[in-house]
Amino acid sequence: MGTHFLNLFFGFQVLIVAAAVFSHLIRILSQKSILNLTAKLELRFNHLLMISVFVLPLFFSMTANQFKIEPIAKTYSAITLKDFDAKSESVTHEKLVTGKSIQSYSINLSAIQIFILLLISASICFSIFQIFREFRSFQFILSACYVTRRYGRIRVAYSNQVVVPFSIRALSQLWIVLPESFSMNVNNSRIAMLHEMQHHRQGDTLWQYLFFLLKASSAFNPMVKKWLSVISEVQELKVDEVLIDQKKIKPQEYARCLIEVAESVVMGGGGLVCATGLAFLPDRHQLKRRIETMFTRKVTNKINGLMMGLCLVFSMSALALTTSRVVGSSRLTMVAAQKMAEVAQENSEFPIVVNDLVLEQLNRYIGTTQGRAYMRESLRRMKTHQPMIERKLQEYDLPLEFLAMPIIESGYQNLLPNQNTGWPTWKAAGLWQFIKPTARGYGLQVDATVDERLDLEKSTDAAMRLLKANQIRFKKWDLSVIAYNSGEKIVSQGILNTKSYDAWNLIQNGYEGDSGYLAKLMAAILIMRNPSSVE
């Protein structure tokens, strides 16, 4: 699942809140006649918002990489290099981190995912329980009612179990259920039947399934209930609007019917109220608004309506795009590493290789907060010594890529032997981390009084001569690098036994010094040539 799952979840929840706010705002402005919107257009806006909530997070989660959006938090393979090196394939070390420092707040990514999954599972179970209980009630009512008419797939029935008419879509069957008392009142029965048929015609009973999906995935989001309440009210208003505009019912008769049903609900202590029925009758404020709307004809300018729709789509899209990268992954893919290599290889003859070993070391540096901090500091310190080292590299006709070697050796720190945490066993020292025998072999004085490994100019010159000698002997820069770290004998023995001059083949057969040394250098070169990767 990873960051895509988190971004999808966060984006979905944020869009629900935004859609609910937009829906409430439109409803309020319409009630106050600031926006002259018909109920039909208002319902379309809500349908547009509903589709946006489901579609936009999916769309932008698949296309987010095409947009440069800085995430609020990032996931890392580990916090420290030690944690990364200690990882096993069976353990997930990804952590969600805010900030760039090692001390930044972090939490296990898997813990967040488990919490969200439990939250969604609880929401689904709760919603399924509710819908199961409601459908059991529907089943009981439908089994006890008696059908009086059929209009195609629509069945009209009367029941003594309800006091409010409602309509429901049950797979292939469409139902309209009226209170039994309506059978004695032809006018109310006709009005209620027309009302519920209009719910079926405008697809309200079909939209209930999408509403259920919304509730099932986000029952814990308090804005879901409020938003669906607004949509249900607008559905009723649209039905009222259509029936009156088509002159199928006189406003006075319609209003009288609503009041009578509202009185029966109050006197009868409620009863089953369905979302696609006269659901808002017990609320006197909403009942008042519905009756007032019946006697007020609204006409919306088509251009204004189109502009409002475009504004809603643009606003929801912008919000979806922003939330599509709430959490970003610092872990590189092979494709991303190869793109870094293309940049690093420009105007260079040094054989830069990207393989699984190099990718692992890249993620060791880029995918951990400590590794990123280490690289940033190393690159910062490199600028101090870069002119001198570049001069030496040119003097010995060595590739400029060897500027990256002190990054993995010392982090561009002129370390004393007792400060060495990278190679403590060998008591290496200086920018280039020479051990005593090698340093003396290349003319550096190392004794109780003087340690020329700490002389930047002399130690750099010695490192250049060592690399050049290795290259002359082995004819390949990657073998020269392995020999710099492990010694010439190991490389020579590896070539003899494997009958191969392939550095990676030698490494695979165990002929190397420090584990992953060549891969670390390749990773350091890639980062040096792509410094933004650790910013």
What mean pLDDT do residues 498-504 have?
Answer: 93
Model confidence at 485: pLDDT above 50: yes
pLDDT class of 109 with cuts at 50, 70, 90: low
What pLDDT, on the 0 to 100 scale, is given for residue 46? Answer: 96
What fold, for 332-534? Lysozyme (1.10.530)
Model-level pTM? Answer: 0.65
Q: Are the C-beta atoms of residues 201 and 228 closer than 8 Å to each other?
A: no
The residue ranges of every structural domain in the chain are: 2-323, 332-534
The rounded distance, in Å, linking the Cα atoms of 286 and 292 is: 10
Instruction: Identify the residue with better confidence: 41 or 266.
Output: 41
Residue 228's pLDDT band, with cuts at 50, 70 and 90, is very high
- List pLDDT tens digits, range 27-61: 998 888 788 888 899 999 999 999 999 999 888 87
Cβ-in-10-Å burial (0-12, 13-18, 19+) of 159 comes to buried
Bridge-based pairing of strands 327-329 and 73-76 is parallel
Q: Report d(CA 124, CA 122) in Å as an integer.
A: 5
Here the tokens at position 165 are: 């008419």
Of 40-44, 245-249, 313-317, the one with minimum mean pLDDT is 245-249
What pLDDT sits at residue 69?
61
Cα distance between residue 389 and residue 145, in whole Å? 92
pLDDT at 141: 84
> Per residue in 344-367, pLDDT tens?
998 888 889 999 999 989 988 887
How many angstroms separate the CA atoms of 311 and 386, rounded? 53
Q: Are 451 and 380 in contact (CB under 8 A)?
A: no
- Is the confidence at residue 470, as pLDDT, over 70? yes
Distances (CA, A) of 219 to 51, 120, 122, 429: 18, 8, 9, 62
pLDDT of residue 95: 47
What's the Cα-to-Cα distance from 275 to each of 64, 279, 288, 386, rounded to whole Å?
Answer: 37, 6, 19, 72
pLDDT band with cut points at 50, 70 and 90 for residue 83? low
**What whole-number distance in Å separates Cα of residue 318 and Cα of residue 15?**
10
For residue 10, pLDDT over 60 is answered with yes
pLDDT (tens digit per residue) in 181-206: 888 888 888 988 999 999 999 999 89
